[in-house]
Structure 1
Amino acid sequence: MALSNNVIGAINFVAMLLSIPVIGAGIWLATEPDNSCVKLLQWPVIIIGVLILVVAIGGFIGGFWRIPSLLIFYLISMLILIILLACLVVFIYMVTIKGSGHPAPSRAYLEYNLDDYSGWLRRRVQSSYKWDRIRGCLSSSSMCGELNQSYRMAQDFFNAHITPLQSGCCKPPTECGYTFVNPTYWISPINTGADTDCLQWSNEQTQLCYSCNSCKAGLLANLEKEWRRADIILLITFVALICVYLIGCCAFRNAKTEELFRKYKQGNPYN
């Protein structure tokens, strides 16, 4: 019995370690400028990671100190958390499966269209109330100013692989036909009717294209890229947790079997 309890404790220690990549993924998302402005995914990920840690600690204590109630709490709670983690992994995959950039003539960077993305994501940015807050957060960042420091010549900028967020928010859509002065200053639009975003562009450095649908699309493209990376971490952790949980269930069952066998040998199987 002591050996089985030690095994259960060791298994739960591994489960404690598996909470670290989940919490780390949530913290990483929270430190990304776009995610910190939107605040959608990082807190559910962090909360699930912390709960996995707390439950694993309970199982660890229950295993080494032979507290059956804690082990039962671990088995039930961890199963619920594994199901929640699976739901989160599937949800992230489903909302990020749609949407991609479109090539523009003579440009290395891509253009982004808001209609390409899932309805759930679009609803997070389409209302004026939500977008006003997000826009203020994005405009206070240095992402557009960094382009001016990196690209002085038009051709250098056109050949640059800038982020979706920079492509959507820091410059006008290519189809508008603006003339390049620097990455965040453009003049003489040729076709203002090509897209409503053509009229939204402003050379005011606090405005730029932050009110454009292309900026919203670029934000969603950036979010999708980061969420997919986090989803890979969550998926790997999910598979590892299932393995640890199943091993823990087997060890717990063996421990109970050993205890029952020992009581039968002592002639007292019910106490």
Structure 2
Amino acid sequence: MVRVSNNLIGILNILTLLLSIPILGAGIWLSHRAHTDCEKFLERPVIVLGVFLLLVSLAGLFGACGRVSCLLWLYLLVMFLLIVLLFCFTVFAFVVTNRGAGEIVSGRGYKEYRLGDYSHWLQKRVENEGNWRKIRSCLQDSNVCKSLQEKNQTLDEFINNNLSPTQSECCKPPTECNFTYRNGTVWDKPADFTSSNNSDCNTWQNYPSVLCYNCQSCKAGVLANIKNDWKKVAIANIVFLIFLIVVYSVGCCAFRNNRHDNAYPRWKGGYA
């Protein structure tokens, strides 16, 4: 009698195997084509994810369909560890993103953000020079600021924009600097400007490769995006965890079937 649990695990792992191929291919493509720190930052995680999915799906496939108990046991062990890690990450994501919110600026359609409002753990991650260099490279490679310049808006149109956190904090100087607006990414300092108590006002430059990418406010804007993304990921993880628990339960049934088949082979009349 064909066991449903073994077949179901086999089908699920065939789908996972097919999914791992384009992911691994994308990682290899990035490793050969990566020129910026942003692309190089992405290549290694993508390759690791592709290899991981490939090996796990092969173990589950041969373990379930080939009735190889040791492979299926290894597959279940990895699945169990993955469930534990995802659960811990989900709880951690909710904890570290619990703090931090944008401040409404009077007469503006956008919010501004402060680095000190976020959890100390997140602050340390973006204040690390190596981490920030990679994040800054990604911001510079994207069109997040260029799109503001291309709109060529008047000041009234600009200040009524609902800017994203990174656009608000990385592409323009803080409102309190009182710089003169020319376009979304060009702001002139007053002729008598020397320095400001806000270090971001001193850091700002009109060069497209500089802008406010080195500002504390830019780091806060990135954390605001991370907070929003992590909240979404954490919610998605809850759904994924339920799916993994179901798959793990089916895998346990398949493992039990394998042990039964090994103990009572068909030629001994183990099946009715």
Query: TM-score interval w.r.t. the shorter chain?
Result: 0.7 to 0.9
User: 1:161 corresponds to which residue?
Assistant: 162
Superposed CA deviations along residues 14-66 of structure 1, whole A, max 9, x for unmatched, are 25546859x97xx8xx9xxxx947959x9668745753452233122222222
1:54-103 Cα offsets, whole Å, 9 max, x none, are 22331222222222222222222221222223233333333333222111
| SS, match of residue 105 in structure 1 | coil
**Structure 2: segments with no counterpart, 5+ residues:** 31-36
Select between 69-78 and 246-255 the one with higher mean Cα deviation.
246-255
For residue 228 of structure 1, report the CA deviation from its aligned partner: 3.1
CA contact (8 A) 2:99 2:117 kept: yes
After superposition, residues 52-201 of structure 1 pair within 5 angstroms as 52-188=53-189, 193=196, 195-201=198-204
Q: Is residue 52–residue 78 contact of structure 1 (8 Å, CA) maintained in 2?
A: no
Amino acid at match of 2:55: V
C-alpha contact (below 8 Å) 1:52/1:81 kept by paired residues:
no
| Contact map agreement 1:144 1:184 (CA 8 A) in 2 | yes
The alignment-based identity, stated in percent, is: 39
Distance 2:147 2:118 in 1: 27
Q: Distance in 2 between matches of 1:250 and 1:94?
A: 35
Kindly indicate whether the alpha-carbon contact (under 8 Å) linking 2:64 and 2:254 is maintained by their aligned counterparts in 1: no
1:18–1:237 CA contact under 8 A, matched in 2: no
C-alpha contact (below 8 Å) 2:158/2:184 kept by paired residues: yes
- Tell me how far 1:233 sits from its aligned partner: 3.2
- Could you tell me how far 1:138 is from its partner in structure 2? 2.7
- Letter paired with 2:12: V
Counterpart amino acid of 1:98?
R
- Give unmatched runs, 5+ long, in structure 1: none
Distance, in Å, in 2 between the alignment partners of 1:73 and 1:104 is 55
Root mean square deviation, CA, Å:
3.6
Deviations 1:133-153 (A, max 9, x none): 543443344321210112411
**Residue number among 2, 6, 9 corresponding to 2:7 in the alignment:** 9
Report the Cα offset of residue 157 of structure 1.
1.0
TM-score normalized by structure 2?
A: 0.76
Change (3 A) 1:38 1:113: farther
Distance (Å, rounded) in 1 between the aligned partners of 2:116 and 2:8: 50
Contact 1:48/1:85 (CA < 8 Å) preserved in 2?
no
